[in-house]
Amino acid sequence: MSAIKQKAVINAERSQLERVQRLIAGGRYRSVSEFVREALAEKLERIEQGRVAEAVERYCAAGLAEEDLDLIDGQTVGSKRLQTKSAGSRRAAR
């Protein structure tokens, strides 16, 4: 299923567009549109990750993370056990 694309006009610094053109000439992108689509996707992902980080920060600041300490401790201990086992098995394989 293909996403419906919509055209938009952007204003950019000449130096930015020249840098994009060099990337296109170098084969990194096929077009300015491809570059802009990727840049938009990356920016939107960073914004979403920032929102999640802010929500976690608010959750912790409200003291709600205290309820999760046992769970977090259990996961930490479990992952250390897994690391120890896999490290030991690698040594035995040599």
Model pLDDT for residues 53-75, shown as the tens digit of each residue: 888 888 888 877 776 766 666 66
- What pLDDT sits at residue 74? 63
pTM score > 0.75 for this model?
no
Query: How many whole angstroms separate alpha carbon 58 and alpha carbon 68?
Result: 14
Biggest distance spanned by C-alpha atoms of the chain: 61
Taking the domains of the chain in order of start, what are their residue ranges?
A: 14-85
Q: How many helices (H) and strands (E) does the chain have?
A: 3, 0
